Structure 1
Amino acid sequence: MKIHIHKQSTIPFYLQISNQIAQRIHSGLLLENEQLPSLRILADELSISVLTIRKAYKWLEKNGLVWVKPGKGVFVLKKTNRLQEKKDHSNWQQTLGINVVRSQYLMNKESVTYNFSKAVVYPRLLPNKFLAEETQKLLKEDASILTTYGSVQGDEELRIEISKHLLEFQKIRSNHENIIITSGVQQGIDLVAQAVLKPGDSVIVESPCYGGALDIFINKDIHIIPIEMDDEGIRSDLIEEVFHRFKPKLLYVNPSFQNPTGISMSSDRRKELVELAERYNFFILEDDSFGDIYFEQSIRQHPIKYYDRDHHVIYIKGFSKTLAPGVRIAAMLANGPIFDWLFAVKASMDVGSPLLTQKAILPFLRTDRMRNHVEKLRIALQLRRDTSVDILSNETNRLQFQIPNGGFNLWLSINEPAIDIFDLLKKANEKDISFLPGVACYNNKTNEPSFRISYSLVSEDELSIGLVELCKIINQF
C-alpha cells in the first residue's frame, strides 16, 4: 500500500494514515475482506511507531471501515456510500425512489453577508455595464434574437472567436467545428457524464474534488475512485494501481488552481496523465475554470489538452466565472467520435444554449477588452488572496493552509481533528458568515476538519470583517 506521510503537516500521523486507507476502501482499491498490512510491517514501511499504526486502525474500526479478527489481523468491511442520507419512508416522495443523493449547494442555501462559500467573482469586478450596453444594442438591432433558437452546437461566430482565443491564450490549436457551447462548465461535465458513462462505470477524480462534479457522478450512480493529491496534482502513480482492478472510462481533473485546494498541476504531471490515457484508453475531462486567474509569481502551465495527440482529452473552458456568471457560457473542445456523442446529448438536453448571451460576449473576445479585464481581475483577486492570508495567519494559530498562486479559493484544515465542521458552520452562520465544509469535496465521509473559503465574492471590507470574525469563532470553538 502506497501511503505518504507529510511530516511537515500538523495533521497527526495516525489521521493521515487512516484517511488514505479510508479513501482506498471507499474507492474499491481495497476490497471487502481484504487484509491490511500488519502493524509491524506498516510501521516499518513508514518508519513510524507501531502505536501510531494501531491508533489509525482503531479509528478505521470505530468508523465501521475495518474489523479485527483476534490473532489473524485487520480486514476491510463492506464498502458503503457514507454520504447518502437514510430515506424517510414516511415521506411519500421518498417512496418514489428519487435518485438525487446529494448536492454541495444544499449546505449553504441561506443568504449571508459574509459569503465565503461560493467561488464567484464580486459583481463590481465584472464588466456589467459593457455587457448590458452590448445586450441592449443587440436587441435594438435585431429583436428577433429573443425568438430564435441558437444552434445545438452554439453560435458559429462565437465558436470561431473562441477557437482564436484558445490559440492565443492557451496555445491550443482547434477547429471551431470541434467546439460545443455549453451553459457553463457544470453543464459540460454533465454532458460528458451522460455521453461516456453509464451506472456502475468507474471515474477517477482528485481527492478532494470540485463538489459540483461529484454531485453529477454520484447522482448518476457512477463508481467514483478518489485519488489523493500532492504538490504536483493528482498522484499519477496511483492511477496505474487503479487499472489493476478497474477499467475507468474517465478521469476528471481541474488542473489549474484546483477547486477546492488551489493546487496547480505540474507540466510533468500533465504529460504523465496523457501518457496514461494513451496506454489504458480512457478519457480525460479537463475543467479549466480558473486557468486565466494566475498571480504574478505563478508559472503559467499549458492545459493538458495542449499535450493531447490522440484525442483522449475533452477540454472545457469556462467564461462565466471571469466574465459574467449570469451569461453562463463555456466552450467544450472534443475530437473524434466523442464529439458526435456530446452533440447528441446536448440536443436532447436543451436544443442549444441561449443565443442572446452568446452574441453578447462576442465584442469582448474580438477586442482587447477581454485581455485588459482579466489582467485587472487578477490584480484584484491577488489583493484579496493576500488580505485573506494575512488575516488567517495573524488572527488564529489553529489553521493550516497552502498559499495558492491563482484561482479563487483557500483550502483550510483545523489543527484539531475532534472539531465537527458542521458545528463550526452553524456558529459561523449565526454571525452571518458561510463557508464550504470539506465533506462537500469528498464522495465519502472524511474525518478531516477541513473547509474551503472563496475570497472572490465579497467586497474588500466585507472580506476583512468576515474573516476576522471567523477567526474569532474558530479560536473560541
Structure 2
Amino acid sequence: MDWLDLLNVEEHGLDRTEPMYARITSGIRKAIQSGELTDNSRLPTNRELAALLKIDRSTVSRAYLELSQSGLIDSHVGRGTFVRPLAQRRRLAFKSAEEMPAVSDGAWPAVLNWTEKFSESSRASLDLIGRQPAAPERSDIISFAGGIPTEEFYPNEQFHRIVNELLQSADAARMFGYSAAEGSHYLRTEVKKHLLKHGIDCGDDELLIVSGSQQGIDLVTNIFVDPGDLVVLEDPSYFWAICNFRARQARCLPISLDNEGIRLDLLESSLARQRAKLLYVMPSYQNPTGATMSMARRIALIDLARKYQVPILEDNFVGDLVYGDAVLPPLRSLPGGKDIVIHQGTFSKALCPGLRLGWLVAPPEVTARLLLAKRTSDLSTNSIAQIILAKYLEEGLYSKHLEHVRLSYRARRDAMLKAFSEYFSDAELSSKMTWSSPAGGLFIWAKLAPGLSAREFLNFAEMEGVSFSPGDIFFLNGGHSEYLRLCFIQTEESIIVEGIKRLARAMRSYLESVARLNLADISGKARVRNNVLI
C-alpha cells in the first residue's frame, strides 16, 4: 500500500480544504470500501504514518479514532490496528441515511438509523469522548489515570450513624420530599459557614446547591452561552468542561499557562480583538497541571475581566486539598471579585464522588437565572444527600476528615515524587521526563522529551501493568502529545512506588523501540510489508 498515494487529493477525490485528519479518514475509508485495503489488513502505527506524512502523531490518532468509531478498523494494544472483516462491518449500525436499505413492497427498514437522529451537541461530545484511551483489560493494573478518592476514605461509619438518627427523628419525612430548588436551607446554612473559612461571605440570594461540579458548569453555560459565542479557557483544561462548551457549540479560545497561571498577555490580546461571553479558570491546583495561580495574577485577572466585562467561572474543585501552609484566596473573595466571579466548589473530590453535591456563588441576578436553569434541568437536588451532608458538616466531621486526608494525600504525593527521583534518575531516563510538584490537589503533570509520545508510552506502560492519562485529551485542539497526567491520591504509598517502578521499566522498553525504529530509518531498511510501513 502506497500511503502517500492514498491521500492524493486529485486521484482519490479528497477535499483539500479539509483538515489533514479528515483527509486521512476519508482516504482510508475509500480504500476499505473499494477493497484496496482488504479484510484484516494491518495499518501503520500512529508513529509510522505520522513520520511518513511529516505530521503530528495526534493527527493520525484522531483519524484512526474516527475510523474505529465508524466500525471500519479495530486496534489492539501490542498487536496493531487492522481493517475489520466485512462481516463485522455489516453487523454494525448504519452510519448514514444513504446506507439504509431501500423500502420496497411496503416493507419498512428492519433497523432504525439512530445515528442520523442524534443532535450536533451529541456528536460533538462523542467526538471528544472518543479521544480518551480505552480502559486497560488487565485486572492487576496500577492506575494513575483517574481523579477520585478511594473507598478507604469514604465516611461510611459516620454516614451510617447519621442516616439512622435522621430516620428516627421527628422530621424524617423531609428527607423524602423535594427540597427547594435553590437547595435545602439546612445545607445552605452549613455551606455558607464553610465558605466563610475561604473568605467568601454570601447571602441567601447568591448561593445555589447543585448536583456536583459538572452540573454547575452546565448551568452556567446554559444561561450565558449560545451557539457561536466565545468561551475562553486555560489550555490545557478540565476535559469535561471542554466537552460541555463544545456540546453547546461555543467557539472555544485556549489560552496557555505559565508558572503563575493563565497568561494575561495572551488573554488581553484576545479580549481586545473579540468579545467573550465567559472565562473558565481553575486558579488552585488546576486540572490537569496541578498548577496554582499566583496572588498577583489573581488580582490582575479580576482587573482584566472587569475591564473587558467578561464573567469568570472559577472552578475551585479541590480547594480543600491543600498540602502546604500557603493558601491563596479564591477569586470571588478578592476586591472586585464579587461583582464578576461565579464561584464553584464541590464536596466530591475531598469526601466521596457519589455524593454529587456542590455549590455556585454568584451575583443575585445571575443566581436567579441559574435557579431557573436548575429547575428545567432536574427540579431540585437530592434531598436525602443534602440533609445527610448538612448534618455531617454541622457536627464538624468534614473538618476532621480534611485533616486526615490532607496528611494521607500529602504522603502519597511525596511518595510519587520520591519514586520519580529514584527510578528516573539514571543517565538513560533522567533526560526523558520532567514532572511537577503540586502544593495541593490530585495530580502530577509530566512532560516527555522531544520526539516522545505519551500515547505510545501508554502502550508500553499498560504492558508493564501501570496506566496514566495522556495529556493531549486536556488540550482544546489536541496535540501536545508529550504530556501525561498522574493522579497520586488513589493508591497507597507502596503501590505508588511499585507503579512508578513499572513506569520506569516501560520507559526503557519504549526508548528501545524508538531507537530500533530510528535505526531502521537511518539505515534505509524501512519497508512496506503486509500493508504496513516497518
Deviation at 1:119, TM superposition (A): 1.3
Q: Which amino acid aligns with 2:129?
A: S
Matched, 1:364 2:389: no
Matched, 1:95 2:116: yes
Match of 2:237 among 209, 217, 221: 209
Sort the Cα spacing of 1:370 and 1:380 in 2 relative to 1 into closer, same or farther, 3 A.
Answer: same
TM-score, normalised via structure 2 length: 0.70
Deviation at 1:335, TM superposition (A): 0.8
Sort the Cα spacing of 1:371 and 1:104 in 2 relative to 1 into closer, same or farther, 3 A.
Answer: farther
Match of 1:149 among 178, 195, 214: 178
Look up the match of 1:438: 471
Deviation at 1:452, TM superposition (A): 0.3
Look up the match of 2:483: 450
Contact 1:126 1:322 in 2 (8 A): no
Look up the match of 2:330: 303
Cα distance in structure 1, aligned partners of 2:408 and 2:303: 37
Cα distance in structure 2, aligned partners of 1:150 and 1:471: 51
**How many pairs align?**
401
**1:242-264, CA deviations, whole angstroms, 9 ceiling, x for partnerless residues?**
12322111110111111111111
Q: Which amino acid aligns with 1:405?
A: A
After TM superposition, list the pairs within 5 Å mapping 1:41-190 onto structure 2.
62-63=54-55, 85=66, 88=70, 90-91=94-95, 92-97=113-118, 98-99=122-123, 100=125, 101-103=127-129, 106-109=132-135, 113-141=141-169, 144-145=173-174, 147-167=176-196, 169-190=197-218
**1:236-283, CA deviations, whole angstroms, 9 ceiling, x for partnerless residues?**
121110123221111101111111111111111111111111111111
Cα distance in structure 1, aligned partners of 2:329 and 2:175: 38
Cα distance in structure 2, aligned partners of 1:104 and 1:229: 25
Deviation at 1:430, TM superposition (A): 3.4
Contact 1:320 1:328 in 2 (8 A): yes
Sort the Cα spacing of 1:428 and 1:309 in 2 relative to 1 into closer, same or farther, 3 A.
Answer: closer
Sort the Cα spacing of 1:373 and 1:226 in 2 relative to 1 into closer, same or farther, 3 A.
Answer: same
Q: Which amino acid aligns with 2:499?
A: G
Deviation at 1:108, TM superposition (A): 4.5
Look up the match of 1:76: none
Q: Find the residue that maps to 2:485 and give its secondary structure.
A: strand
Aligned-residue RMSD, C-alpha: 2.5
Deviation at 1:90, TM superposition (A): 4.4
Q: Find the residue that maps to 1:278 and give its secondary structure.
A: helix
Cα distance in structure 2, aligned partners of 1:455 and 1:468: 14
Look up the match of 1:408: 442
Look up the match of 2:74: none
Contact 2:453 2:481 in 1 (8 A): no
Cα distance in structure 1, aligned partners of 2:464 and 2:453: 17
More off after superposition, 457-466 vs 436-445: 457-466
Q: Percent identity?
A: 28
Contact 2:245 2:252 in 1 (8 A): yes
Look up the match of 1:427: 460
Look up the match of 1:351: 379
**1:390-447, CA deviations, whole angstroms, 9 ceiling, x for partnerless residues?**
11122122211121111110001111x3333223223333344221110111111213
Deviation at 1:231, TM superposition (A): 1.0
Deviation at 1:291, TM superposition (A): 1.5
Contact 2:313 2:342 in 1 (8 A): yes
Match of 1:290 among 318, 332, 356: 318
Q: Find the residue that maps to 1:170 and give its secondary structure.
A: coil
Cα distance in structure 2, aligned partners of 1:305 and 1:83: 43
Deviation at 1:288, TM superposition (A): 0.5
More off after superposition, 98-107 vs 385-394: 98-107
Deviation at 1:146, TM superposition (A): 5.5
Sort the Cα spacing of 1:83 and 1:132 in 2 relative to 1 into closer, same or farther, 3 A.
Answer: farther
Matched, 1:379 2:420: no
Q: Answer 1 or 2: higher relative contact order, Cα 8 Å, separation at least 6.
A: 1
TM-score, normalised via structure 1 length: 0.78
Q: Which amino acid aligns with 1:161?
A: E
Sort the Cα spacing of 1:106 and 1:143 in 2 relative to 1 into closer, same or farther, 3 A.
Answer: farther
Look up the match of 1:476: 509
Q: Which amino acid aligns with 2:286?
A: Q
After TM superposition, list the pairs within 5 Å mapping 1:8-19 onto structure 2.
none
Cα distance in structure 2, aligned partners of 1:104 and 1:195: 27
More off after superposition, 390-399 vs 193-202: 390-399
Q: Which amino acid aligns with 2:487?
A: S
